[in-house]
Amino acid sequence: MRANVRILVCAAAAGLSLVGGAILAQPATPRPPATVIVISPEEVDRVIIPHRRPPMIREQAVELKGVGVTVDIEEQVGTTTLELTLHNPAARPQEAQVLLPVPEGATVRSFQYDGVGPEPTATLLRREEARRIYDAIVNRQRDPGLLEFAGYNLIRSSVFPIPAGATQKVRISYEQVHAADGARVDYLLPRSESLGAEGVAWTIQGSIKSKRPIATVYSPSHEIAQERVSAGHVKFRVPEGSASAPGSLRLSYVLAPPAAGDDALAATVLCYPDASVGPGGGYFLLLGAAPAQSPTAARTKREVIVVIDRSGSMRGQKIEQAKAAAAQVLEGLEPGEAFNIVDYSDTISTMAARPLIKTAETMQQARAYIGQLQANGGTALHDALVEALRQPATPEFLPLVLFLTDGLPTVGERNEVRIRDAARDNNSAKRRIFTFGVGFDVNTPLLTGIARTSRAASTFVLPDDNVEVAVSQVYRRLSGPVLSAPRLTALDASGKAGPRLVREVMPGVLGDVFDGDQVLVMGQYTGGGPVTLRLEGEQGGKARSYSFTLDPASASARHGYVPRLWAGRKIAALIEAIRQAGAEQPPRTPQNDPGLKELVGEIVALSTRHGILTEYTSFLAVEPGSEAASRPMPALSAAPEAAGRTLETEAQRKRAGQEGVQKELNNQQLMGDVKLAYLNRDRDAGLGQRQYRGVQAANGRSLLFRNNRWTDAQLIEQEAAEPERTIEFGTPEYQAAVDALVREGQQWMLGNAGDLYVMLEGKRTLLKAPKGQ
């Protein structure tokens, strides 16, 4: 006898949801809008929700084993295909049915089934009918998590069988026309925002084709790997670890300007409205890229000075890898570009008195010079740095320094502040100083400070990593400078620069744009009419300028990820400022310096509002279900003092050693993250992965788990106040509250188990979880 089990598969941000219910089979006749859907208790027992364990689950129910997604977009018409792998562990046949939430405008293209029997069909349900189905399932299952998909249309398949013990694949495809916003086209794959949605393996890949060249492809939600097939064809995939993480997949691609030259910079501006910035204000993201240059495009030549630490601690494998890295860098230079080598221990040596032009003869000299280097002596870091910066500059070349060290300064000047100041004061040629710290015995804030103030970056090579590989990875990115010394200016309607038009721009100092680089600049706009963002710099020895329009009228809640991306970088910049202050004598700390105390307060406020926890603010929330979850939490007013103490003992004092490297790697990740960190992960003291599960954020809002409930960040300062209304699950008032969340675009908040304390329709509202949840 065949069991009548139906599985409803719902695409979620970290996974598909499988939900049971025979009542959801395709009805013989269409239901009128007011039809009430009823599901029996027996059907509820068959419910499965991948990445969200339901409160009730029947043994040997059909299981979702994996999801494969293929996205094909051609001239803005997108086809999304999901291949679902379903397994029936029972000794009897069972039936399944697919429910797939999809964006507005999607249409069913096909539904394919590998099994025997009648070919199943799929139909599109409007959001109102989909909502009634969700409500019926939720009321029986007593788990409101499925309601995070309220507001989406729904594809529903007919019933299909799965033989006993068999694994079956089904494929469902839908099409959608993606409207262009200027040169930008956006794509969305709805998935669950819940942190409990991990578990099922996902694979995501796709292809984008356009008659116009594609300048860049960007995902604010997930890491993506790209392969450029041609100017108008890009393939992408989401790496396995990122694909199975929660969150809707968001993807944007930017087309190159029509009839533009090879050196054109394509860009778009995304805006998110936020009245807290000011009337008519909000957040913006300038997303752009320089297309890969053709051989005929103007290029800025490079001057590269490689600085090699040959102190005694570099003996053995490290010095050989450093020498190989230096040789590889010089071999990678184009003929006619310039180079020199500075090597140091307790003495300083140079290959030449000034940078040399690369020729066959000078390269032969360089190979011989590198080959004779040997490790011995101490570390005169200050003098080596100054020697590299005092080299006569090669006119009209972009000057770069690759500075390697594996130790703390032991010879000559050893004071961190004075070394950092020397790097600034002696850099009249404005050389970009890319620093490489090898091993743990390095001063991490010093190397980062030297690099950051020169428009460069620091890299830390862990003991088991290869120095040559680390240097090569950085150097490969420094090919073909497209725009050097870029700066961003905001202009009003009359073309005049206005310092109040945009503010809090991150990064504060823009790095050089190299061949194929993405440009990501974030900040706040203060309202009023359209603003022109002018990006200026030098290209091929000539001044270049590009202009883009920031129009507050285009602001959309769909870009709710922009404030959080900005906040992550802002928090990292504040932490770095506090770390750098720790080098001063006498030490400036958040306990004795009002300025640093103010920075700590800003870190706490941004972390709370945008749902970004670091090791310095992890106490703001606790993990649901943990022992700490049931204990009362200190009021938010005590958080700045606690964070200040942690920043002093951890961020300021731990400057070298394994923990010093760990602090710097975590802050680099936060500073450079170009995607939403759904999982709030960083490295622990042992450099292993650590996750803060007590926080979630989406669509411009965040939740923190405090006092045994999920609390809206907007209510953290009022969390001790009594709710203005308390709404029980399953009541008409609860349904009305869900409707309100849908209108505000915040239904994702329902994806978490437990009570929810939220600011809704201007009122402090406590939504009670089902009893027993």
Q: pLDDT band at 61, cuts 50/70/90?
A: confident
Among 433, 319, 449, 318, residue whose Cα is nearest residue 374: 319
Q: Which of 28-42, 115-129, 458-472 has the lowest mean pLDDT?
A: 28-42
For residues 71 and 48, the answer to whether their CB atoms sit within 8 Å is no
∠ Cα 487 528 280 (to 5°): 105
| Contact between 766 and 727 (Cβ < 8 Å) | yes
Cβ distance 146 to 99 under 8 Å?
A: no
Q: What is the pLDDT of residues 214-268, one digit of tens each?
A: 999 999 999 999 999 999 999 999 998 888 888 899 999 999 887 655 567 889 9
3-class secondary structure for 75-92?
Answer: CCEEEEEEEEEEECCCCC
Q: Over the stretch 297-348, which tens digit does the pLDDT of each residue have?
A: 667 889 999 999 999 999 999 999 999 999 999 999 999 999 999 999 999 9
pLDDT tens track for 486-532: 999 999 988 999 878 999 999 999 999 888 789 999 999 998 789 99
- Specify the 3-state DSSP secondary structure of 514: strand
Q: Is the peptide bond before 355 cis (omega within 30 degrees of 0)?
A: no
* Per-residue pLDDT band at 386 (split at 50, 70, 90): very high
At 68 the three-state DSSP class reads strand
Which residues lie closer than 8 Å to 728 by C-beta, 6 or more apart?
734, 768
Q: Is the peptide bond before 33 cis (omega within 30 degrees of 0)?
A: no
Report CA 360 to chain centroid distance, whole Å: 44
What the block records as the tokens of 315 is: 């003996």
Least confident segment among 418-432, 539-553, 607-621 = 539-553
Beta strands (DSSP E) in 492-579 are 502-506, 513-514, 518-525, 531-539, 542-550
The pTM for the full model equals 0.91
Q: Provide CB contacts within 8 A for 462, sequence distance 6+.
A: 439, 661, 687
- d(C-alpha 85, C-alpha 156), whole Å: 17
Torsion angle of alpha carbons 189, 193, 198, 204, nearest 10°?
20
Q: Which of 694, 695, 702 is nearest to 759 (CA)?
A: 702
Reading the block at residue 488, the tokens are 């961003």
The crossing angle, in degrees rounded to 10, of helices 416-425 and 381-389 is: 10
Query: How far is Cα 90 from Cα 163, in angstroms, rounded to an integer?
Result: 9
Radius of gyration of the chain (CA): 29
Span 690-736, pLDDT tens digits = 999 899 998 899 999 999 999 999 999 999 899 999 999 999 999 99
Lowest mean pLDDT among 136-145, 288-297, 546-555, 574-583: 288-297
pLDDT confidence bin for 46, thresholds 50/70/90: very low
Question: Does residue 586 have a cis bond before it (omega within 30 degrees)?
Answer: yes
User: Looking at residue 53, what is its pLDDT?
Assistant: 45
DSSP secondary structure letter of residue 675:
S
What pLDDT was estimated at residue 498?
82
Q: Tell me the pLDDT tens digit for each residue of 404-417.
A: 999 999 999 999 99
Per-residue model confidence (pLDDT) at position 561: 93
